[in-house]
Amino acid sequence: MRAWTLALLLATAACSKVPEKASAAKPAEITFDGAEVTNASALIAHGNRLTQVLGCKGCHTPALTGANLLDDMPQFGAVYASNLTQVVRHDTDAQLEQILRRGVHPDRKQLWVMPSEVFQNLSPTDMSSLLAYLRSLHPAGSPTPPPRFTKLGMKFISSGKLHPVAELVSQYRSKPSVDLGPKYAFGRYLTSVTCAECHGSDLTGVKDLEPGLNTPNLIVAGGYSRPDFERLMTTGVPVGGRKLKLMGDVARERFPHFTPHERDAVYAYLKARAELPAD
């Protein structure tokens, strides 16, 4: 039995003496499509899809055996997106969940670059299938080292341009994107675990995501027709066919792994958000 089912049963039991209408039904959990599977292989397949749409495979490599993200910039140091096939051999599920939701590592004082600030929003069911998929990996390659920063890298950090992940987790939590009610809740959920990583927790855009690269307020999506949005999300080509610096590659690699229904929901939420009266 899932922990949250148990919690719900206990809560219902505790409420059994209060009048009927006070025990309001728990709203259905919002998850990616296809999360409500029960057999182990379907759960693992769902977790595998999540590693694609959430970008784990972009940073940790398609085989999840890890890579140095600062390969091109050794003057700053070396930050490995870890070899996850090795990590899952010694971490418990609880430790993995602490890393993914809190940016808290069992041994290291700080965690860097790993986008736990958005993964904290993953539903319990999506998180379980992600962990089930990680558990299904066979160990490969060798363990990757913890981050190492050069003097220049440390200077970059102390200038406030790079924050420890745990700090970002609380920043993101305190500034969520606008809630447009149940009709748009699914789209809001999906953007909170994907787009928010680069467009900011409230989707209003980020200055200097990388030196010289800004992301726009996702109000821009309001100017897209649904077919143009589909083209951006599945092929990386924006309206007007311009060449994008980063978004094109990100979209092409990650967002074809959304279901069409999920892309509908992302679009509907962003469109409704863009049409809010300015205040």
Check residue 139 for interaction with ligand HEC (CB under 6 A): no
Nearer to ligand HEC, 156 or 255 (CB): 255
Question: How many Cβ atoms from other residues are within 10 Å of residue 219's Cβ?
Answer: 17
| Residue reference for tokens 């049409």 | 275
DSSP helix, strand, coil percent of the chain (3-state; round to 5): 55, 5, 40
Q: Kindly state the smallest distance separating residue 198's Cβ from ligand HEC, in Å.
A: 3
Check residue 168 for interaction with ligand HEC (CB under 6 A): no
Check residue 195 for interaction with ligand HEC (CB under 6 A): yes
Q: Please tell me whether residue 31 adopts helix, strand or coil conformation.
A: coil
Q: Which of 239, 241, 234, 229 is nearest to 267 (CA)?
A: 229
Structure tokens belonging to residue 18: 């209060």
Which one of 31, 44, 49, 55 is in contact with ligand HEC (CB under 6 A)? 55
Angle subtended by helix axes 247-254 and 226-235, to nearest 10:
90
Using CB under 6 A, which residues numbered 72 to 101 contact ligand HEC?
Answer: 79, 81-82, 84, 87, 96, 99
The phi and psi torsions of 55 (rounded to 5 degrees) equal 85, 5
Check residue 62 for interaction with ligand HEC (CB under 6 A): no
Check residue 154 for interaction with ligand HEC (CB under 6 A): no
The span from the CA of 210 to the CA of 62, in Å, is 23
Using CB under 6 A, which residues numbered 103 to 132 contact ligand HEC?
Answer: 105, 108, 111-115, 119, 130
Nearer to ligand HEC, 42 or 113 (CB): 113
For strands 206-210 and 67-68, give the pairing. Answer: unpaired
The phi and psi torsions of 30 (rounded to 5 degrees) equal -95, 125
What is the CA 119 to chain-centroid distance, rounded? 4
Q: Kindly state the smallest distance separating residue 238's Cβ from ligand HEC, in Å.
A: 4
Q: Kindly state the smallest distance separating residue 159's Cβ from ligand HEC, in Å.
A: 19
Check residue 220 for interaction with ligand HEC (CB under 6 A): yes
Using CB under 6 A as the criterion, which residues of the chain lie in contact with ligand HEC when the complex forms? 51, 54-56, 58-60, 69, 79, 81-82, 84, 87, 96, 99, 105, 108, 111-115, 119, 130, 146-147, 191, 194-195, 197-199, 209, 213, 215-216, 218, 220-221, 232, 238-239, 244-247, 250, 255, 266
